[in-house]
Amino acid sequence: MTKINQIIVEREVPCTLRDGITLYANIYRPQASGNYPVLLTRLPYNKNLPDFSHRWIDPIRTVMQGYIVIVQDVRGRFASEGEFEPFAQEIKDGYDTVEWAASLSYSNGKVGMFGLSYYAFTQLYALVEQPSALKAIFPAMTGNIFKEPFGESGVLALASAETWLLDSVAPDYLKRKLSSEEYSAAIKELSNDLDQIEEWHNYMPISELPAAMKHPVLQDIYRKYIDQNFNKRAVTQIHARNTSDFMNIPAYHLAGWYDNFLSQTLMNYQQMREYNSNQKLIIGPWGHGMIGSDLGERSFGVNSSALSIAGKEDLTSVHIQWFNHWLKEDNDILQTDEDPVKIFVMGINKWRSEKEWPLQRTVYTNYYFHSDGQANSKSGKLTTATPTDEPRDQFTHDPASPVPTHGGGTLFYNGRNVGPRDQRQIEVRDDVVVYMTPPLDESIEVTGSAKVILWASTDALDTDFTAKLVDVFPDGTAYNLADGIVRAKYQHGESVKNKIVCYEIELCPTSNVFLPGHSIRVDIASSDFPRYDVNPGTGKTTLDTVEMVKAAQKVFHQTEYPSHVILPIIPQ
């Protein structure tokens, strides 16, 4: 291979789509003559900002390894023409852009795609029309194109949805729609609203959020976006295609234990593996786009960072190795016989390779909720023994004073409130019930997706139940590992008022060793706000109502109603 020391950077290179709209890209390529494979990313966040164009992989290093790197503004964003309609536009535009990139005079006709979040979505959508030039992808921390990006079991991921629209979409959208004078006033007002975004999360009804609706040009896109209109249009296009055809491609999936898209990223891996066995997966102790060694209130060690994975390689080198194999057929650089899955195990803070996900050797073990012996208590025990006839636990869910979000796989403004955080300030609330094992005599590894089977009743027409898996340290510090939420009407399809009903709450995956002296704790509540919209208890949602009622919640753990958590335990 020709040694590459000099590169050419071309700015604002046009790509004309089938409908005549022109998108613009920056192209980084070798100065040396020849034809090279293309690595393409398509994003709505401005190709000229280094935090987006250079952060995920280093285009300079990548070009010096014999690639062309293309960073493109998607339709309706920054330099590119057209109207921005998130998700729905990326199928056709993705196909056209891949084929254009392959046709460039200095391209060898092979294209790979990379990027995280929305610019991982653009990879998945580009697959749908099956561009022949697209040979491999590297989707990181992204959603599943068959699901709502900002929803979970029928519940709106409120803070994520509002943050993305106001912070990531609105500034450029306003700039394109307004005069210079109008924009100057609008962006000042938007900046003030972003400074107070935590307060705006409290506003109901959500569909009338003043921070968005005060700008007439934002009203239409906000309403369609919050109603999942764009995503539904994309899903309609996808269902018209044969899934087995467009999912048949090598893909390297990157996820984080505290990423808001963790479950959907793992769903991507599992679905695509059904159609193409050439899938790889890496999961670190990371948040959304946050791939360092420290997260929330914990540090996982220098080699937990994607800048020094197990002390051996960084994220750019991982990309280069992957694409060398699929775009250059360099079998020596990618070890094709290595295990396809690499996970970071928290607690012991070590990387480990695995042959599959979920792990086949998992022993799913029931840990049952038990009363502490007092009626209407809010704390109890967690053991492998089945319950007898024990007193129920009870709490009041007040949607006007919901349990606040404290860590987890969040996507809040500027990365706030993400990751592992001490839960004690949450667990002392009267509307949180906790169940805990005694201090452990030996280590227990939990790797995979836990599930809570909760027998409960409510006196409201509709309600939510949340569950959280927590690692309690000997000093009492309690760090959250995984969580989940369920909305009654989506799981049971009818009013649950005054009925004892079994709720299944899927917790997001995790990997953690509970060390000797630690305890396993499960927290039960009925809100996690503003991560999720609060359930008003009326049968409606706060998308379109401000009416709320308190709900009396009862948790049962008896022979007939054995509430428990199913832990994915890995034998030592």
Q: What is the pLDDT of residues 496-516, one digit of tens each?
A: 999 999 999 999 999 999 999
Query: In the prediction, which pLDDT does 377 show?
Result: 59
Predicted local distance difference test score (pLDDT) of residue 51: 87
Residue of 58, 73, 96, 259 marked catalytic = 259
pTM for the structure as a whole: 0.96
* β 134-140/251-258 pair status: parallel
Buried b / exposed e along 31-44 (16+ C-beta atoms within 10 A): ebeeebbbbbbbbb
Fold observed for domain 363-569 = Jelly Rolls (2.60.120)
User: Mind giving me the DSSP string for 324-369?
Assistant: HHHHH--TTTS-TTS-SEEEEEBTTTEEEEESSSS-TT-EEEEEEE
Read off the tokens for 35: 């034809």
Q: Would strands 519-525 and 433-436 be described as parallel, antiparallel, or unpaired?
A: antiparallel
Is 117 catalytic? The answer is yes
Cα–Cα distance, 480 to 285 (Å, whole number)? 13
Rg of the chain over all Cα atoms, to the nearest angstrom = 24
What pLDDT is stored for residue 480 in this prediction?
Answer: 98
The pairing of strands 510-514 and 444-448 is antiparallel
Rounded-to-integer distance, Cα 503 and Cα 563, Å = 9
SS3 235: helix
Domain 7-150+232-354 has CATH 3.40.80.10: no
Length of the chain: 572
Of the residues 253, 288, 319, 325, only one is catalytic, namely 288
Confidence (pLDDT) at 283: 98
Pick the catalytic residue: 117, 377, 457, 527?
117
Phi, psi of 140 (to 5 degrees): -120, 135
In angstroms, what CA-CA distances link 523 with 121, 396, 558?
A: 33, 15, 18
In the DSSP assignment, the letter for residue 545 is: -
**What pLDDT score was predicted for residue 334?**
53
pLDDT digits (tens, 9 = 90+) for 26-43: 999 999 999 999 999 999
SS3 37: strand
Active site residue 58: no
- The DSSP bridge partners found for residue 404 are 529
Q: For residue 259, indicate whether it is catalytic.
A: yes
pLDDT at 330: 64
- For residues 519 and 440, is the Cβ–Cβ distance under 8 A? yes
Query: Within the chain, how many helices (H) and strands (E) appear?
Result: 16, 27
- Per-residue pLDDT at 243: 85
* Contact (CB, 8 A) for 472 and 440: no
Q: pLDDT under 70 in the chain at which residues? A: 1-2, 330-337, 373-377
